Chain A
């Protein structure tokens, strides 16, 4: 296990290098360059002002030099200074991170709490009307555009029924824990929809696959009760691949959060990214992309390790 982990960590080095080159290259390819945001308003700017601006940002240096500067600083945890606010990017990300983690956490837990029992129910009642209905619902969940689902829920629950707030994290002047939680319901639900659909189907087919296994027949044959056969022998084995997929999906929850946060004005990283995009704040965009990529890599590793930890047949050498 230790050796496997060490090898995986060593493999990460070229991967991270490749990612940093791509991210740096994409931002370098930006039309207009960073001083574009100065000129964006279409006003006349003295060329010497632009020159000193470029110098202050360090973009007057050769490209390879800029890359090495950026890489060296990033490796030390310094993601540079935001163009739009002149504040450290790490501080800006740090401020927004709790909101995103809260939203992603709520969506993840909620999706798991709904998807797993639902998948089990479908597998036990497979090919019944309820199961077919569940399959239909999961197709609907996967095909649902996140932003439209968000708008619909706002329309129904906030505008028409008035039960829940439209957007934001709290009512101004009347914020309390309960109020905050009420703001969390719709975005959390929207973000979790796709995973409820995906995980419940995946758990269902995993359960059905395992239920044909020899050890399940053995468990039945030696006279165990049905609840023991299902609860101990089937469910535990069927959960292994599902848990690993859930870990993998943590990373793409982040992409979903970009849209969800935009629809619900949720002040997290996703919204910060969209704002940074319109402000051409390249250090900020690079920092967020780099952080997103690191999250993907981390949870890929977690998924593999979980698989090994949960399934004793898998040995990492």
Chain B
């Protein structure tokens, strides 16, 4: 089942320019028939509950008339009075049966209502929205991920989707229900007595105004509280994370004080909320009591004048209670409207985001029927690249790696080493110039096919919470056990996998936490080898390893590189020894290139780095390295050197 089939076109960026409100309305329209059913059910439910209430009133009037014939006779609705031969108690039984029947119908229909609205919300809206946002996320280019934090991206699929869907059920549906309820109640009361209705509902607009004002204030205030609580939690978890620092410097008291300030800030912020909230809720209650008082006074007087039946008065009292509960419903609709707009904006942002990296129309698919497979000759021709809006990170890059060759890239932080690698599988596209494989611009290939021909190993390897075998087969899930083991052997991972409790079936902890750094990198190598790539990109694969583990990984690398075009980035010279040629990058440009011997004879950047890292260190060499380190340090400070 393809997920794209799940995603109705209404989510896609048909008209990204239109406002979120307009698009949310379109979204609602998409679910119109389900919504309509919910509304119809709701109307029926309203009718039933009013029916029940008026039956009670009718009963009271019936009893009163039976006891005291001077009291007004009960007025049956729609002139559906029972035959006059019926005794009062027979009528009473009829009314009791009616209440029960309506109660049963109410129960059944309200079950249907609950299920139906749950179905719209849980089975259609949310999963469909989530699937389409996720689907889109997986296709978005890296530049999108560069600019948004992972927590924010995750929230877009979880809470923002919930907020956006709440427009349909929380705003449109609830708003409809609210309007319906209010007008039905009002009509019901007006039919009974117009002036009394106005008198009783006189304070209602005041109540609404109060509610809206309070809830708009409270939204901001609660947000602030949440932020402050987050801050408390952050302080706590940070403190635990850095517990060694606090302990070693003996700063427990200071750290606790720091925490205490944030903890107290929450309480201070809450005080004002508590004060206002308690006043608000109390005045809401009081206002509805005033409505009851008006009813008792004015309505009572009407009863004495026989202009209102006692039963109607009781019904009125009940309807007023129902009316009062609608106040909070209205506040909820207004709040939801604002939240859903904010959520929808973030959701649509993802759905509308442009996928920068796409396959061209008639793409080359290497290895497909009739098409030649790649041999892997890689060329950078006058390549310039910069991240969105930033100065070029790479400029004027000329580089050639023959098929099966290996070039190492060396350079300081922000020299553009990783960026250079990212251009090959089109994680980003060049700004000028071109990157080509076998003479074809990488932009001519089908993106997926291109990437399937390239194996990448990153500085820090992300492993998934699956078995070791599944992690190795990540790029080719259908691979059989033999292929997986072969890849593991090449990457020098077979031995340690065998020694794991369940071998290849061992589950990895989150982010491979149950493995050492060297083991993780060897799994990454195995994962890259398994897809049999023609090109191999190694982004500083040993940077986070200690020298001893580094040696193990480097040993595996030699086998992995066999027969593949390889670009390896590293800061450590030890990792560069397999390279046919070394390219030294400095601030986005190629500063030097050549073999180790050539570069050492040039006494440039490479030479200095090499000495610093003790390359060729004999007794004298080591002393040289120290002297040089001092010299470079002095130069960096701008001091004259001796």
Pairing of A with B: no
